[in-house]
Structure 1
């Protein structure tokens, strides 16, 4: 008869019946100074695994790895949530809610009245008046976020820089509609807290502005700029340059508040000076309300043959 082999039971995946020699350190009975030497070896940073050695990960030589991680973590999270297209909304961190602006204006008016000769207080009053006027754009941003969120397509999301002001307004509108909403925060010397209307798990923090910009553009189906300052201008002109050069496919770019934006930059002067071509005027348009902006974005995509969402039956 042919003997059947004896099949041993599968080994335990982690445990052993007999410990391996290296599972215990060299004993003090064998070498009096062994324990102290072992501690010196194991506590040295060189002994830490590379992915657990924070100081090592932040050295200049590992910058390329950090760039990859900055990109990859956000990409994995957005993909896991099924987000395929975004309406990216930029705007000043200094945009106030109307009630907040009204309270600040009242306080500034009180101070200026109490100290009529104080130029600093007079300037504070002028700024408060201007912020009160601009606060309507907070409401426009909030309404635009609500309009996007109300579509009800989980593949389409509002995306902002994750901070306060105009960014908060847009995220808040999507939150009001019960939709997912994304914020791309950036680490700064003075910490930027995320606004409270972001979807937990979809507030991503970047170290590099460049990688943050990449993710703003990667899924963008439209860009909307509320009144803003340097940061808004940086993102806006970066996007326009990518579209102008066709480094990225054209998408709608809408500037909310024509009077504000014409005061910020003169596109007609740029065209007349020959600094841009006539067709570059058509890379963006102005809108005065959330509904006007949203209707224009939807119409643009229909003309382009790239509908933003499937119409409900």
Structure 2
């Protein structure tokens, strides 16, 4: 009888086994003696940047593969937009203070809190509607507060998992409490983080935001416009905000973008409108007779 376990046995110890072996030193070994991959002081040297970048690409990729995460919907937006309950509390405090500047700011934040609630409902719709699907959709956010929190919260509230891609900042960005713990990642490199936003995404939703949101949105638009990645729905929540912020007509009129480039995105106002667009794009939930036939 052939012993298959012997035929498939490892020829070499694993790295984990090697690093667990006792050393010849009774106390901490000198730096030069440490295994290179177990020596964090060595790994953070400037010359090791290419290795760190590769590790930052691989770690989230391998974990998502192991959890069979294939398709995601990315939610971008400001960290400064509060939920409605918090905004209402801040407004009451501002009214009591008699500070007109604080009152104006609180009124503006309450108005913007509507986007938090739409992001929350949109994430809940995505998650609940595809939870039992053969290819469920997972919400991905930047992992912080504001709109990011709303996305993770919506998925969490309907019993789904969601992903948070945090970034190390001078003033530490704390992960929001609604991210699925095993899917809460932390990045050093913005570029690798943005790559992971796009690697599995089938759609991107951009809510009002500042420099970070604009950076993420325009990188996505550029990659699609230049054919570097496949076309997918880009949903801009709040036409009034986005059309005032970015004059796409000016870009067309001056020839800075080509006719048709303005069709790379869609304005939407509600979670239901956005979800209906995605359902139509990917035939989600349509009966076989209603789905477009493949040529």
Residue aligning to 1:49: 35
Q: Distance in 2 between matches of 1:284 and 1:310?
A: 23
Pair 1:136-2:122 in alignment? no
The alpha-carbon deviation at position 50 of structure 1 amounts to 1.2
Pair 1:251-2:237 in alignment? no
Pair 1:242-2:223 in alignment? yes
Contact 2:221 2:264 in 1 (8 A): yes
- CA RMSD, aligned part only? 2.2
Q: Distance in 1 between matches of 2:159 and 2:184?
A: 16
Within the candidate set 99, 102, 120, 2:85 is matched to 99
Distance 1:48 1:310, change over 3 A: farther
The alpha-carbon deviation at position 24 of structure 1 amounts to 10
Pair 1:62-2:48 in alignment? yes
For residue 255 of structure 2, give the secondary structure of its aligned residue in structure 1. Answer: coil
Q: Distance in 1 between matches of 2:89 and 2:252?
A: 42
- Deviation sequence 1:159-188 (CA, Å, 0-9, x none): 111111101111111111111111111111
The alpha-carbon deviation at position 309 of structure 1 amounts to 7.0
5+ long unaligned stretches in structure 2: 1-12, 14-21, 289-295
Pair 1:149-2:127 in alignment? yes
Contact 1:243 1:249 in 2 (8 A): yes
Residue aligning to 1:82: 68
5+ long unaligned stretches in structure 1: 1-13, 15-22, 26-37, 114-120, 303-307
Contact 1:82 1:155 in 2 (8 A): no
Superposed counterparts of 1:91-240, under 5 Å:
91-111=77-97, 113=98, 121-150=99-128, 151-152=130-131, 153=133, 155-240=136-221
Q: Distance in 2 between matches of 1:249 and 1:214?
A: 14
The alpha-carbon deviation at position 75 of structure 1 amounts to 0.3
Aligned length: 266
The normalised TM-score by structure 2 is 0.85
The normalised TM-score by structure 1 is 0.80
Distance 1:311 1:58, change over 3 A: farther
Pair 1:288-2:269 in alignment? yes
Larger radius of gyration: 1
The alpha-carbon deviation at position 289 of structure 1 amounts to 0.3
